[in-house]
Amino acid sequence: MKTVLITGSSSGYGLETARHFHAKGCNVIATMRTPRADILPRSDRLRVLALDVTNHDSIAAALEAAGPIDVLVNNAGIGALGAFEATPMTTVRELFETNTFGVMAMTQAVLAQLRARRSGVVVNVTSSVTLARMPLVAAYTATKMAIAGFTASLALELEEFNVRVKLVEPGYGPTTRFTSNGGQRMEGSIPEAYAPFAQRIFAGIGQTTVVTTERDVAEAVWRAANDETGQLRFPAGPDSVALAQARL
């Protein structure tokens, strides 16, 4: 029975992924900054641990409590929407700390045990912003593009040790907390000069009917974690799949 550790499990994709892996019979370690056991099933195969992926001591403590794992799902992330001109560099650095350096730190922290056992999988959840150009998310896109490149290189590096590394690329998920969890970061992010352009973009997003659900992402993460074909990228959601196919 495999043990999977999932970051960012308090809501959205991470929460549904934790539920999905548990339903499939795995031992699940659901991590989040502020643990909430009430949002997941009570089970001797499921534990909730505190984890802040931007804090070295928090990572070390969580992994010590978790014990050996077979699958790491790097899902924790934060969002920001707005004109780059109005995005403070403190916000850009905050995005990179969680979305990029947090993923790298978690991955580095588990590699020794996976390499020694010559087995295991790391699944990095990015975004469909890596598949097509999208406006008003320049800094966010940069954090996700960095992980796309990191994952592609690392996958080759770890083939020698039979450790697999995968990318899951979710599409637009209107039911997630992308906007709400970035509220403070997005204050004043649309200057007056950008307002007409932003209004057109937001109007188009509001009319979008093909979207990604939490279930789409959980199923894609499951496929990625169990894939042995060498496939690197797993678009999640019909909109992301369409973008991926358009690139072929």
140 part of the active site: yes
Residue count of the chain, please give it: 248
Q: Count CB neighbours of 37 within 10 A.
A: 11
pLDDT at residue 247, rounded to an integer: 87
How far, in Å, CA of 221 to CA of 201, rounded?
29
pLDDT at residue 248, rounded to an integer: 76
**Model confidence over 95-149: pLDDT tens digits?**
999 999 999 999 999 999 999 999 999 999 999 999 999 999 999 999 999 999 9
Q: Which residue, 18, 113, 126, 15, is CA-closest to 68?
A: 113
Domain segments of the chain as ranges: 3-246
How far, in Å, CA of 174 to CA of 6, rounded?
21
Whole-Å CA distances, 148 to 26, 65, 142, 220? 27, 29, 10, 16
CA angle 166, 223, 248 (to 5 degrees): 65
**Model confidence over 48-69: pLDDT tens digits?**
999 999 999 999 999 999 999 9
pTM, rounded to two decimals: 0.95
Selected catalytic residue, list 13, 140, 172, 194:
140
Supply 144's token pair. Answer: 């996700």
How far, in Å, CA of 18 to CA of 23, rounded?
9
pLDDT at residue 144, rounded to an integer: 98
For domain 3-246, say whether CATH 3.40.50.1100 is its number.
no
How far, in Å, CA of 191 to CA of 121, rounded?
43
Q: Which residue, 26, 24, 8, is CA-closest to 106?
A: 8
